[in-house]
Amino acid sequence: MSAQAIDSPTTHRAGAFGNATGLVCRECGSQSPLGPFYACPECFGPLEVGYDFPAVTREQIESGPKNIWRYQPLLPVPADIVSSPNTEPGMTRLLRAANLGRELGIERLWVKDDSGNPTHSFKDRVVAIALSAARELGMKVFACPSTGNLANAVAAAGARAGMRTVVFIPHDLERPKVLTTAVYGGALIAVKGNYDDVNRLASEIAGEEEDWAFANVNVRPYYAEGSKTLAFEIAEQLGWRIPDQIVIPVASGSQLTKVDKGLQELIKLGLVEGKPYRIFGAQAAGCSPVSAAYKEGLDVVRPVRPDTIAKSLAIGNPADGPYVLDVARRTGGAVEDVTDEEIRDGIQLLARTEGVFAETAGGVTIATLAKLISSGQLDPTQETVVLNTGDGLKTLDAVADRVGPTATIEPHFSEFLKTGLV
């Protein structure tokens, strides 16, 4: 969207964006009105949502719906959001991971398991906010470029809201992610290129089609706010307390930066006690532009060409990469990366110890957690939360060569005895 578009803001009903007051440039701080805008008209920096928060109490939140809408006052959505059809994501399990912790030598470990969302990834959170913005701005088409999980979430949310959807994916995406998008019946365009090519194409279309809302492009400031709900839920589920350390996967980097923003808002509003916390980013070695910049001490992120089994994290030119570096450095965290074999190990480790089957992105965070502990970057005596952001059923190929039946036998007791299990 051009700077020109910002000069003529779209109209919307009062309260369409809740307590949000405008869009603020993350680089120069200049203000833009609430609308389908994502780049600052002054400096082209990314815009994010600014608020004028009222007093919000724990009791008020606790008496709300059992999904992300309990945090409505802290999100850019109207007070009546619950009455418009959406997928109602959130309030996923926060599991005390004692077995995994024992194995990794860390005492107080939790897994925030976002595979429990309606389309089985954290993307349902961000999409619910983007859908609300699209609706309030009078957009006609709900669209996105996606590495897979966003595709699922947009297609499902659009179906439920009765809004036309057009989803763009790289042509070589995992087959389950293609099918679990196509089943919702919207348009699905497979683009012969990688995610960064798909994203460029989507930005071009967004510039041309004024009534198309691309969840992660022209309504990105709203979309991104959805990831704050991970921070809100973790704090609430810990009894209104912030953990010492959080490990988060990084693709575009949006999720990691917004978990930090969410924690800051909770402190500012007095919903939790202020305390230091450290945020760690996790990438696949085959697509680790942010981790590379972190290790080299750089402020800029050099784009790479991804080559990893963690396709959901395969963004070679991450929009929020520099802000991930800021958060990791400011909070005393780090950004680390792990190989495809370590990712497979991570998936199996979490499954074997906690009964949680993560997709490759979850394998990345678990393997990164292990690496951060063994390298001494993460303190094993501190309370730690690791995110599992997606479901292993969508990336079965990652473990297909590693697991299978223990034995295949004829249906006779004597055959069973030969397995050596008793």
For ligand PLP, the binding residues (CB under 6 A) are: 121-123, 147, 149-150, 249-255, 312-313, 359, 361, 389-390
Which one, 9 or 138, has the nearer CB to Zn ion?
9
Which one, 19 or 149, has the nearer CB to ligand PLP?
149
- Distance separating alpha carbons of residues 13 and 18, to the nearest angstrom: 11
Query: Should residue 358 be labelled a site residue for Zn ion when binding is judged by CB under 5 A?
Result: no
Residue 361: name its binding partner from ligand PLP, Zn ion, none (Cβ under 5 to 8 Å by kind).
ligand PLP
Segment 8-27, which members bind Zn ion (CB under 5 A)?
25, 27
Least distance from Zn ion to the Cβ atom of residue 16, Å: 24
- Which residues have CB under 8 Å from 182's CB, separation 6+? 155, 188
Segment 311-350, which members bind Zn ion (CB under 5 A)?
none
- Distance separating alpha carbons of residues 251 and 274, to the nearest angstrom: 28
Residue 149: name its binding partner from Zn ion, ligand PLP, none (Cβ under 5 to 8 Å by kind).
ligand PLP
- Distance separating alpha carbons of residues 387 and 282, to the nearest angstrom: 10
Which one, 78 or 214, has the nearer CB to ligand PLP?
214
> Which listed residue (43, 298, 300, 417) binds Zn ion by CB under 5 A?
43
Which one, 147 or 384, has the nearer CB to ligand PLP?
147
Q: Which two tokens stand for residue 277?
A: 């916390």
Residue 250: name its binding partner from Zn ion, ligand PLP, none (Cβ under 5 to 8 Å by kind).
ligand PLP
Candidate segments 41-49, 131-139, 154-162, 325-333, binder of Zn ion by CB under 5 A: 41-49
Report the b/e string of 127-166 with b at 16+ CB within 10 A: bbbbbbbbbbbebebbbbbbbbbbbbbbbbbbbbbebebb
Candidate segments 40-48, 51-59, 163-171, 307-315, binder of Zn ion by CB under 5 A: 40-48
Nearest to 263 by CA among 273, 254, 253: 273
For residue 124, give the H/E element and its range.
helix 123-136
Which one, 36 or 148, has the nearer CB to ligand PLP?
148
Which one, 216 or 245, has the nearer CB to ligand PLP?
216
- How distant, in Å, are the alpha carbons of 113, 121, 142, 151, 217 from that of 69? 18, 17, 21, 22, 23
Rg over CA atoms, the chain? 21
Least distance from ligand PLP to the Cβ atom of residue 256, Å: 6
Residue 353: name its binding partner from ligand PLP, Zn ion, none (Cβ under 5 to 8 Å by kind).
none
> Which listed residue (42, 244, 345, 379) binds Zn ion by CB under 5 A?
42
Which one, 288 or 312, has the nearer CB to ligand PLP?
312
| Strand order from edge to edge, sheet including 47-51 | 31-32, 20-25, 47-51
Q: What's the distance, CA 290 to chain centroid?
A: 16
User: Roughly how many angstroms between the first and final C-alpha of the chain, as a whole number?
Assistant: 67
Candidate segments 43-51, 104-112, 299-307, 315-323, binder of Zn ion by CB under 5 A: 43-51
| Other beta carbons less than 10 A from residue 74's beta carbon | 24
> Which listed residue (6, 24, 39, 40) binds Zn ion by CB under 5 A?
40
Residues found near Zn ion in the complex (CB under 5 A): 25, 27-28, 30, 40, 42-43, 45
